[in-house]
């Protein structure tokens, strides 16, 4: 919150990417012929990337203007468009086969280099999230070091390891070099919803099942890293779970603490059938899951819904980072001010300030002096956000305004 009583709003969840052919200059020359052949045959399956608003992904000036009109002064930038050699956006693409790995890795490296330039076009306003693949851990570590040097301050996007991917699960010690370099460099590890679901087929129910299951598959990264001991071995590691909701967190932490206590206790009773499930667990993971959450974890709470706000103290005020999900149609644009009123009216101003900007500034290294100066002109006022919203905008598309959103608890 700045000196003029306006909130400094940082979206911890926005998306961007280059237009397809604009990735070509960022590819190593040896991949140009393969890219030309792939791009000529590629048919984009995503309507929003073919519509008039698609350029919001890469038009830096338009993007800054629309975010400022919405009261937002900075953003954490996740991927959105199709990188070279991918069948779809990288968030939703399945893990590559060995034959696909080289080309897809080249495509992600091109995106990362484009993103570094895109962030540099708006100094201090964008924290770009570097993409990696987990098929080759040494290559991933090298790319993370490159990204830190290139000032991609949003950290690294952790891919999922869905069933059938052929990759070790995230609790595996084989990923320890990734956790180690991220802790060493102070690089947050971001895990975004949608990136860990297995393929569900083409039956009519598949989309509905995906909606029911996708956040659960994304939540798995939390208990994999906790029970795998990543935070014990690397106490400086930060995990961010983005666009997965936040109301689930208190209950899941209670559940994980229960299993931790139960299995550790059972391991001391060698004659019980359950003892083998807890063998070595205390030594491997250390503190209970709720302590790992307190010390190492955060939530990118995209357009935090009204029913989630009363849980903020159980989640941790310092853990919550609001996000707009721009430019997606389920995001809050162009009604971010109304969304903030809908969720945060009646919440103490210092708590709102932390959740809508201060926490993200601290984790991702934004300069608040720089951003406060911008927010002094464009940020929503404290008085504005404190005013309850009587009716949502008639043409709003974000689920934050959905009827009954204040009643649901999952």
In tens digits, what is the pLDDT along the chain, a chain of 410 residues? 655 699 999 999 999 999 999 999 999 999 999 999 999 999 887 766 677 889 999 999 999 999 999 999 999 999 999 999 999 888 888 888 888 999 999 999 999 999 999 999 999 999 999 999 999 999 999 999 999 999 999 999 999 898 888 999 999 999 999 999 999 999 999 999 988 888 888 888 998 998 899 999 999 999 999 999 999 999 999 999 999 999 999 999 999 999 999 998 888 887 787 888 888 887 888 889 999 999 999 999 998 999 999 999 999 999 999 999 999 999 999 999 999 999 999 999 999 999 999 999 999 999 999 999 999 999 999 999 999 999 999 999 999 998 754 433 33
Contact in structure between 60 and 341 (CB atoms under 8 Å): no
139, burial (CB in 10 Å: exposed 0-12, middle 13-18, buried 19+): middle
Distance CA 111, CA 115 (A): 6
Closest among 347, 256, 333 to 294, alpha carbons compared? 256
- CATH class of the domain comprising 67-80+112-401: alpha beta
d(CA 345, CA 322): 15
Distance CA 351, CA 355 (A): 6
Domain-wise residue ranges, the chain: 67-80+112-401
- 0.85 surpassed by pTM: yes
**Tokens matching residue 383:** 């008085």
CA distance 285 to 292: 9
How many residues are present in the chain? 410
CA distance 55 to 63: 9
CA–CA distances in Å: residue 303 to residues 55, 249, 263, 353, 360: 22, 16, 36, 15, 14
């Amino acid at each position: 919150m700045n000196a003029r009583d306006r909130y400094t709003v940082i979206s911890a969840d926005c998306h961007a990417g280059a237009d397809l052919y604009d990735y070509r200059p960022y590819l190593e020359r040896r991949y140009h012929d393969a890219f030309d052949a792939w791009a000529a045959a590629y048919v984009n399956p995503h309507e929003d990337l073919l519509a008039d608003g698609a350029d919001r992904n890469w038009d830096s000036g338009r993007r800054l203007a629309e975010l400022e009109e919405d009261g937002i002064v900075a953003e954490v930038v996740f991927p959105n468009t199709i990188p070279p050699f991918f069948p779809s956006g990288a968030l939703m693409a399945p893990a590559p086969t060995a034959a696909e790995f080289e080309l897809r890795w080249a495509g992600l490296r091109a995106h990362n280099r484009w993103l570094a330039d895109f962030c540099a076009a708006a100094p201090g306003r964008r924290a770009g999230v570097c993409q990696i693949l987990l098929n080759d851990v040494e290559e991933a570590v090298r790319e993370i070091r490159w990204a830190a040097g290139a000032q991609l301050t949003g950290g690294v996007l952790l891919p999922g390891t869905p069933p059938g991917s052929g990759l070790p699960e995230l609790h595996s010690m084989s990923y320890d070099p990734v956790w180690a370099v991220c802790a060493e460099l102070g690089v947050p590890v971001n895990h975004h919803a949608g990136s860990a679901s297995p393929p569900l087929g083409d039956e009519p129910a598949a989309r509905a099942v995906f909606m029911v299951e996708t956040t659960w598959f994304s939540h798995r990264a939390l208990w994999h890293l906790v029970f795998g001991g990543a935070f014990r071995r690397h106490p400086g590691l930060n995990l961010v779970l983005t666009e997965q909701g936040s109301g689930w967190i208190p209950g899941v932490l209670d559940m994980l603490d229960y299993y931790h206590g139960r299995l550790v206790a059972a391991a001391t009773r060698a004659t019980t059938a359950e003892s083998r499930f807890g063998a070595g667990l205390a030594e491997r993971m250390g503190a209970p899951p709720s302590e790992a959450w307190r010390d190492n974890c955060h939530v990118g709470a995209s357009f935090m819904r009204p029913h989630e706000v009363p849980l903020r103290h159980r989640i941790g005020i310092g853990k919550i980072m609001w996000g707009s999900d721009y430019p997606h149609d389920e995001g809050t644009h162009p009604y971010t001010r109304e969304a903030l009123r809908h969720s945060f009216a009646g919440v103490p101003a210092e708590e709102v300030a932390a959740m809508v900007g201060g926490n993200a500034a601290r984790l991702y290294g934004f300069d608040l002096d720089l951003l406060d100066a911008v927010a002094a002109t464009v940020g929503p006022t404290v008085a504005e956000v404190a005013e309850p919203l009587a009716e949502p905008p008639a043409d709003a598309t974000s689920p934050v305004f959905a009827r009954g959103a204040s009643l649901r608890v999952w």
